[in-house]
Amino acid sequence: MGRVLLPVTFLAASAAAYPSIFKRQNETQDGGVDSFDSITPSEQLAWQPCFGEFKCTSLTVPLDYANPSVGTTNVAFIKYEFANSTGQSILFNPGGPGASGVVGLIGLVGEFTATFGTDYNFVSFDPRGVNNTGPAISCSNSVQHNPSLPLVEQWAQAQANGEICTAANNGTNASYAGTSAVVQDMMHFTELEAAACGKDPAEAKIWYYGVSYGTVLGQTLAAMYPNRLGRIILDANVYGVEHYQGFVPSAAEETDDAFGFFFNYCYEAGPELCPLAGNATSAVAIEQRYQAFLKKLEQEPLVIKGDPQGTVITRNLMANVAFKAMYVPRQGFYALARAIVGLEKGDTSETPVVSKLIGLSAEIADVLPSETDVEPAPATRDDGLQLITCIDTAGRYALKSSQDYVNAVRGVESDSVYGLPITANFLLCTGLNIAPPASQFFPGFASIQTSVPILFVGTTGDPVTPLSSAHKMSEYFPGSAVLTQVAPGHSFLAVPSECTLGHVRAYMKDAALPEAGTQCDVGSQGGMVFEAGKEAFESVLGSLAGGEAQSKVKRWFV
């Protein structure tokens, strides 16, 4: 589970960073359809132009491959082709659970081209229960998690919410939306694509790049189809064992390190680029200023002036916002620093800009539906996060009582200064009981040899998927390797490294792995990170005005 109830998954691209991508998808002209409602579902890969320079298909698949009589659903796929349309396809998942791969690829294709080159086609999809893909899943009648309640009351409320959600999904097809089912869809797609190219489907191999929860998909793929892998890069790894228990306490292991990068980069960048630096004589002094600001919010919360939602900025809310900013250093670090300086003075006027910038960067699927003609999700991303996680858990939820929850939260508080936001996920499966069919129950991980070694990648300053998860999961796949990038951010793309890109491209070319213990240190990047963030901020500031800007507040401060 690579994101928290403040939805955050994959990062890297923003409208400010890649304006040409966002422009061209809105100028479809001869670019085909602009909605999956306009695409007729097919049991074959019936590609047609869509969203400008992309191709789309709605693939009809069995709800249960082992029992086709149950019925079917439709999976939304999107592809970006280069000149050689028969080139190798790389499947991509941006995370979640609950994030849209269709929306993600539209926003990230420029980043992928720069990373992997032009020898590949990039393909993504909305997993089951997400955006344009069935079956529809929802817990919309349940009450939102309230972190201000005492912990035992949080547990009781979650228990009630879980029971409501379970009842709401009785008699539906929600149980067919788990990770194992999505992996089977990925293999089915790969076989159909091979057949369309005149190749033997039974010999087809998947090439895959997954980030955050997308690594759980990749880990599960490798366990279920170990002999069907072509290349597999897993970036910002979730500890998959914990994911299938519905409880990922290891997520907070590097959160403090992520904040450490923020304070150090700010001091390194200086007051010209980092507003929070001020007259600080050290990174420690900047952290102390931030802590004092949180303490002030605890005593005097702020109301966002003119916000129709009546949003109040509390200490807990600001801590969550700062946590979210750690995913995206090139956008989030500067935006966070500028927000803090403004809010210290009681000025909330720029919160819409911070909202748009960090929201767009940290989870591109959160903002893009309003910027493009991509269809909105049939359920919220939080519903996808909860239901898919708990379908995967299938009776293995690790917390059995309110005391277990209290102990888990106290453990994070004891071990981490800034990791408390991850505890919002601890209650996802409390009281919720939706089991997958037997054919889609994933029993867990065991040591297994794969047809190609897996490349695990992680940073040393990831706020939610620590490097240790990559090492733990690598142990299940003999011959795999872990590549370490000494940098902040949720993905190796968060702060660019030519060293890392070199290893990634070598692996894609001939499955060459880096030597054990290889580290790519991005070095002193404070100036670059804050300068990039300042440029992005000013670009967004210039694009938002009046009512449009104010309407964006709710996208982040919720």
Q: Is 531 left (phi over 0), alpha (psi -120 to 50) or beta?
A: alpha
Percent of residues in the chain assigned helix, strand, coil, to nearest 5: 45, 15, 40
pLDDT score at 224? 98
Q: Residues 510-533: what's their mean pLDDT?
A: 96
Tell me the two tokens of residue 356: 């748009």
Q: Residues 513-522: what's their mean pLDDT?
A: 97
Q: Which amino acid, residue 437?
A: P
pLDDT 10s digits, 168-195: 999 999 999 999 999 999 999 999 999 9
- Residue 406 within a domain: yes
Q: Residues 352-377: what's their mean pLDDT?
A: 47
* pLDDT value at 8 more than 90: no
Q: Structural domain tally of the chain? A: 1
Q: Residues 416-435: what's their mean pLDDT?
A: 95
Query: How does the average pLDDT of the chain come out, rounded?
Result: 87
* pLDDT value at 15 more than 80: no
Strands 312-313 and 302-303: antiparallel
The partner residues of 443 in beta bridges, in order of sequence, read: none
Tell me the two tokens of residue 160: 């009630």
CB 276 within 8 A of CB 289: yes
* pLDDT value at 234 more than 80: yes
Give the separation between CA 244 and CA 337, rounded to whole angstroms: 36
- Residue 211 within a domain: no
pLDDT score at 85? 57
H/E element holding 313? strand 312-313
- Residue 338 within a domain: yes
What one-character DSSP code corresponds to residue 33? B
Tell me the two tokens of residue 348: 């909330």
Give the separation between CA 85 and CA 87, rounded to whole angstroms: 5
* pLDDT value at 554 more than 50: no
The end-to-end CA distance of the chain, in Å, is 20
State the number of CA atoms in the 13 A half-sphere of 412 facing the CB: 25
pLDDT score at 30? 59
- Residue 87 within a domain: yes
Phi, psi of 517 (to 5 degrees): 85, 5
* pLDDT value at 20 more than 80: no
Matching residue, tokens 């010209």? 272
Neighbours of 471 (CB within 10 A): 15
Tell me the three-class secondary structure of 333-390, residue by residue: HHHHHHHHHHHHCCCCCCHHHHHHHHHHHHCHHHHHHHHCCCCCCCCCHHHHHHHHHH
Q: Residues 331-347: what's their mean pLDDT?
A: 94
Kindly write down the DSSP assignment for every residue of 215-267, as one continuous string. Answer: HHHHHHHHHH-TTSEEEEEEEEE--HHHHTTT--GGGGTTHHHHHHHHHHHHH
Q: Grade residue 104 by pLDDT with cuts at 50, 70 and 90.
A: very high
pLDDT score at 492? 96
- Residue 505 within a domain: no
CB 277 within 8 A of CB 271: yes
pLDDT 10s digits, 260-318: 999 999 999 999 999 999 999 999 999 999 999 999 999 999 988 877 778 889 999 89
Higher pLDDT, 328 or 372: 328
Strands 48-50 and 54-62: antiparallel
- Residue 459 within a domain: no
Give the separation between CA 326 and CA 333, rounded to whole angstroms: 7
CB 342 within 8 A of CB 350: yes
Give the separation between CA 41 and CA 134, rounded to whole angstroms: 12
Tell me the two tokens of residue 143: 């009450």
H/E element holding 312? strand 312-313
The partner residues of 521 in beta bridges, in order of sequence, read: 486
pLDDT score at 83? 62
* pLDDT value at 196 more than 70: yes
Q: Which amino acid, residue 285?
A: A
* pLDDT value at 141 more than 70: no
- Residue 178 within a domain: yes
- Residue 466 within a domain: no
pLDDT score at 372? 37
* pLDDT value at 435 more than 80: yes
Give the separation between CA 235 and CA 482, rounded to whole angstroms: 10
Q: Grade residue 357 by pLDDT with cuts at 50, 70 and 90.
A: low
Of the chain, the percentage scoring pLDDT greater than 70 comes to 86
Give the separation between CA 336 and CA 425, rounded to whole angstroms: 23
* pLDDT value at 165 more than 60: yes
pLDDT score at 159? 95
pLDDT score at 60? 98
Q: Residues 124-151: what's their mean pLDDT?
A: 88
pLDDT score at 553? 32
Rounded to 5°, the CA angle 502-492-275 comes to 125
Compute CA distances 311 → 6, 325, 553, whole Å: 15, 19, 9
Give the separation between CA 257 and CA 259, rounded to whole angstroms: 5
Give the separation between CA 529 and CA 514, rounded to whole angstroms: 26
pLDDT score at 142? 62
pTM for this one? 0.91
pLDDT 10s digits, 444-463: 999 999 999 999 999 999 99
* pLDDT value at 67 more than 60: yes
Neighbours of 7 (CB within 10 A): 22
Range of 327's domain? 41-136+148-166+173-205+255-434+523-557
* pLDDT value at 344 more than 90: yes
* pLDDT value at 399 more than 70: yes
Tell me the two tokens of residue 8: 């955050």
Q: Residues 435-443: what's their mean pLDDT?
A: 97
Matching residue, tokens 């630096």? 277
Matching residue, tokens 């213990």? 517
* pLDDT value at 51 more than 80: yes
What one-character DSSP code corresponds to residue 482? E
